[in-house]
Amino acid sequence: MKKLIIILTLLVSNSLLMAQTDDLSVEAFSARMKTIEKSTGEQFGNKDYAALEKTLMESVELFSQLSKENQKRFKQVQSDFNYYNLACLYSLQNRKKEAVAAFEKCVTEWGFTNYTHAKADTDLDNIRNDKRFIALMQTIREKGDYLYILRQAGKYEAADAAGLPRFTYEDANSGVLKNVKEYFNLDSVAGQGDEISKIMNLMTWVHNAIRHDGNNYALCEFDAIDFYNYHKATGKGVNCRGLAIMLNECYLAMGFKSRYITCLPKDKNDPDCHVINCVYSETLQKWLWMDPSFNAYVKDENGNFLSIAEVRERLINDKPLFLNHDANWNNERQETKENYLDSYMAKNLYRLQCPAASSFNPESRYRGSNQTYISLYPVDYEDSTTNPSEVIVHDPEYFWQKP
């Protein structure tokens, strides 16, 4: 049984639409699905399979009452909940043909791609040797096994950097960064410890200062002070980009060379990405992975701090990675290495992008921005789009050059 039932509430509550004539409104659909979600959980727990099948078929029928447009918007309800759970239900009852048919429907018609979950889900064990099931699993592996996809990525290659943009870092003595430092009393935040402790203290402070909300594109200027005041005034969280920009300005204000890095998947149609920070340690002579959204950093088996480049390479080569034990989401849910690195970040380390100029208010929401972005792609990645503000490179030494 697919345990990620919460997806129903998230999908529906984030995209409420107006009711449409002769179609079920999203609000009515949402209300009914909350009841169905509760019922299926209870029925699965009680192994009341007859009632569970009836509830899931009711959910399929309810989904059919949505407009075609809303069915496209909420197709994961069909793939990740309705037909996936039917496949699990039939498999548990050893109704193999029906189980494979339901799994095929959730994959081929509704776009199910969660390979990692399906691979580990014991509810599907009764159909694992079925040839159709094996073929379907291979199909979704090409789209949803993110470690596999990352490991199939093309290599990088060295190139002549002549003519490419220079990476620049705003000086800590600039008026705006001095203002950031004073406004947040960053000397006190960073503490009196060594360089690494200061870097970590600043990240943890940003993590605790503003709630992370991946769905909220804050209505304010894109700088540390405005993000902070927006959160305090509205109570709303800020997405990962906002948190990374805030931390980046705090690092710059304290004299650390820093960038915020947009970590992107292979699939350009996938709207999900993640933005984290890399900060240069003069002590260690390397860039360090710092993620304020999850208060996360990564080490190797010897306790050495790792960079984004090193984490990516270790994921590809199946080398040990250790996430800090206090990595978490909004101090509410502990983050695990398996979820954060092996799944989420493995997906989002296929392509990397950052501004050439690391500065205060780098993507001004209201005043315009002439920012140039530099993207590091594998050599075989095909990109048919053209963006005049983006420079694509394949040379990691250029991209990760010492500041």
Q: What are the tens digits of pLDDT across the range 298-345?
A: 999 999 999 999 999 999 999 999 999 999 999 999 999 999 999 999
Whether 238 and 206 share a structural domain: yes
Report the relative pairing of strands 258-264 and 390-393 from DSSP bridges. Answer: unpaired
Residue 75 lies in a domain: yes
Q: CA dihedral in degrees (110, 116, 117, 121; nearest 10)?
A: 120
Residue 150 lies in a domain: no
Residue positions counted in the chain? 403
Whether 128 and 35 share a structural domain: yes
Give the amino acid at 317: N
Residue 149 lies in a domain: no
Tell me the DSSP string of 306-369.
--HHHHHHHHHTT---EE-TT-EETTTEE--HIIIIIIIIHHTTSEEEEESEE-SSTT-TTT--
- Poorest-pLDDT segment among 89-103, 190-204, 274-288, 362-376: 362-376
Q: Read off the pLDDT of residues 168-189 as tens digits, 9 standing for 90 and up.
A: 999 999 999 999 999 999 999 9
Q: State how many domains the chain has.
A: 2
Whether 195 and 261 share a structural domain: yes
Whether 137 and 65 share a structural domain: yes
Whether 256 and 119 share a structural domain: no
Whether 135 and 244 share a structural domain: no
Residue 152 lies in a domain: no
Whether 175 and 50 share a structural domain: no
Whether 227 and 370 share a structural domain: yes
Of 144, 169, 198, the domain-final residue: 144
Whether 136 and 189 share a structural domain: no
Whether 245 and 111 share a structural domain: no
Residue 10 has pLDDT above 60, yes or no: no
Give the amino acid at 179: N
Tell me the DSSP string of 15-71.
S-----TTS--HHHHHHHHHHHHHHHHHHHHTT-HHHHHHHHHHHHHHHHTS-HHHH
Q: CA dihedral in degrees (349, 354, 360, 361; nearest 10)?
A: -90
Of 144, 173, 190, the domain-final residue: 144
The pTM assigned to this predicted structure is 0.83
pLDDT band at 14 (very low <50, low <70, confident <90, very high): very low
Of 85, 119, 144, the domain-final residue: 144
Whether 60 and 33 share a structural domain: yes
* Residue 388 C-beta-side C-alpha neighbours within 13 Å: 1
Whether 100 and 225 share a structural domain: no
Residue 232 lies in a domain: yes
Instruction: Please give the residue range of the domain that contains residue 258.
Output: 157-399
Q: Read off the pLDDT of residues 104-133 as tens digits, 9 standing for 90 and up.
A: 999 999 999 999 899 999 999 999 999 999
Q: Read off the pLDDT of residues 351-376 as tens digits, 9 standing for 90 and up.
A: 999 999 999 999 987 776 788 999 99
Residue 1 lies in a domain: no
Residue 181 lies in a domain: yes
Residue 2 lies in a domain: no
Give the amino acid at 136: L
Helix, strand, or coil here: 275? Answer: strand
pLDDT band at 5 (very low <50, low <70, confident <90, very high): very low
